[in-house]
Amino acid sequence: MPRPRTFYTLSLIALGCGAACAAAGAGGFDSPALRWGGDALLLGGGLGAAATIVLVRRGLGQLADAARKPGALVLAGRTVSPDTGFQFLTHATDALLESAERSVADARLQAKELEIQLKVATAERQHAEAILYSISDAVLVTDPFDELVLANESAARTFEFDLAKSGRSPVDQVLRDPKMIALIREMRQSHSRSGRRIVEHEVHGEAGSRTFKVTLSSISDGDVPGGVVAVLHDVTREREVSEMKNDFVSMVSHELRTPLASIRAYVEMLIDGEADDVKTQREFYEVIQNEANRLGRLIDNILNISRIESGLVRINKQPQSLSVIVKDAMEVIAPQARQKQIRISEELTPVFYQTLADRDMLYQAVLNLLSNAVKYTPVGGAITVEILVDEPQKKVLTRISDTGVGIPPKDLPFVFDKFYRSEANSRMAPGTGLGLSLVKHIVESVHQGRMFVESHVGKGSCFGFELVLCE
């Protein structure tokens, strides 16, 4: 088969001959020279087209063969063609490949950078969420559209919503607290960049009402207003303690003022000489002594309760026989009972039943209960002391019953409160209102027992406590 370059040469010769014959046959269209020249032109055009097609196919084939050969690619990725006539095609291909390789390399680099940024952002978010979830205070984070972005378990418990279903939901659909929703919206609309707002807010829920100190901060991105961060700190207990302290100081001041006023009044009468005879002077001295003793008991009870509540009291627990402790207290209270002709009966358990207790503190609790029973039992009444053992439950129960005036039902829930005294019985016997509160602290706070009371007006009362038996 002739080489393509030969075809190319023959086509040029045929084209030249045809043109010459056409020029020579100017005598007419039907002359042999004109017809031969036309045929020569057609033959030359066909041969030229064939040569061009063959050359292109051969060049593409050589380019493909060169790309398949191991030595056809250099380090720069350029394709080497043995035919210099097609270098423009290989150069264009190399340029396209280099551009594509650069684009792929840049895309891979950007993908790596984005992957690193995503990992860093994910780690920072997880770190922030871990900190947020570990905070005991309730935290709510909203975006510029008042949608809840983040919240912790404490917030979910406080406002009673499902944390898993609350993400990216409008805050008014998550919270059922109109006041809290209004606070968040007001903070966002204020466009405050650095300032924050602190308010107190009371949240009502199924567990009751609680008071929170709410700290609201605005999140802004430059001039664009952002969301709001709300942190709610529970101050319910702090408010209760503060109120208890104020009430305690007020009650203590009142209770201290009463005996001091009596002492001052009788001392002034003695100084003014109103007690002329020895009998009157002795009565005044007895009143002063009784009020001073009352003042001393009040101070001792206050100190004991304060030490127990603060955990500063020294407790020495050892196996003790409750029967022995009750017996000792009954012997101390017996003279007062005899003065009022009150009969005391006992039903005690054997000595070998023991409980882990601080003897002095438990003795003080039993003595206070016996003293109250004697105070509020009329002349000729009776007091019964029982100790019952429940071996299967490992419990020992002490009951002190009297036939006294009893306690009205409306006062029963408050008899163990500090300084509380029933109005119906306050005139029957003097007192500070701290004895039963101290007994409850000794039994429940110190010995982890249980205190109880039963009473019927006009029939008497029964005070008792339950402790755990020693193994």
What is the average pLDDT across 17-29? 44
Q: What is the pLDDT of residues 237-250, one digit of tens each?
A: 888 878 877 777 77
For residue 64, what pLDDT is reported? Answer: 54
Cβ-based burial of 278 (10 A; exposed 0-12, middle 13-18, buried ≥19): exposed
| pLDDT recorded at residue 194 | 60
Q: Which CATH superfamily is domain 318-468 in?
A: Histidine kinase-like ATPase, C-terminal domain (3.30.565.10)
The pair of three-digit structure tokens given for residue 122, joined into one six-digit string: 């994910």
Q: What pLDDT, in 10s, does the model give residues 209-235?
A: 889 999 998 877 666 667 899 999 999
> Tell me: the pLDDT tens digits for 417-457?
877 777 666 666 666 677 788 888 889 888 889 999 998 88
Q: In CATH, what class is 240-310? A: mainly alpha
Do residues 216 and 196 touch, judged by C-beta distance below 8 A? Answer: yes
Mean per-residue pLDDT over the chain, rounded: 77
Average pLDDT over residues 159-181: 88
- Over residues 312-339, the mean pLDDT reads 86
Distance separating alpha carbons of residues 259 and 296, to the nearest angstrom: 10
Query: What pLDDT digit, counting tens, does each position of 343-402 carry?
Result: 999 888 887 788 898 888 898 889 889 988 888 888 889 999 999 988 888 899 999 999
Q: With a cut of 80, say whether residue 33 has pLDDT above it.
A: no
Q: State the pLDDT at residue 179.
A: 92
Which of the two residues, 354 and 5, has the higher pLDDT score? Answer: 354
For residue 465, the model assigns a pLDDT of 93
pLDDT of residue 36: 45
Helix (H, G, I), strand (E, B) or coil at 423: coil
CA angle 69, 74, 80 (to 5 degrees): 60
35 pLDDT more than 60: no
**Residue position matching structure tokens 């101390």:** 332
8 A C-beta contact, residue 205 and residue 217: no
Model confidence band, residue 75 (pLDDT cutoffs 50, 70, 90): very low
Query: What CA–CA distance (Å, rounded) separates 200 from 191?
Result: 21
- What number of other Cβ atoms are within 10 A of residue 237's Cβ? 10
Dig out the tokens for 165 from the structure: 């279903």
* pLDDT, greater one: 82 or 197: 197
Residue 149 has pLDDT above 80, yes or no: yes
Share of the chain above pLDDT 90, in %: 11
- Interatomic CA distance for residues 199 and 230, integer angstroms: 11
Categorize the per-residue pLDDT at 50 as very low, low, confident or very high, splitting at 50, 70 and 90.
low
pLDDT at 383: 92
| pLDDT tens figures, 252-307 | 777 778 788 888 888 988 888 888 888 888 888 888 888 888 788 778 777 777 77
Task: Please tell me the pTM assigned to this model.
Answer: 0.47
pLDDT over 50 at 30, yes or no: no
- Render the burial of 44-57: b for 16+ CB within 10 Å, e for the rest: beebbeebeebbee
The rounded distance, in Å, linking the Cα atoms of 438 and 364 is: 9
Measured CA distances, 363 to 322, 331, 470 (Å): 9, 12, 18
Degrees (nearest 5) of the Cα angle 387, 389, 390?
A: 145
| Fold classification of 135-234 (topology level) | Beta-Lactamase (3.30.450)
Beta bridge partners of 345: 384
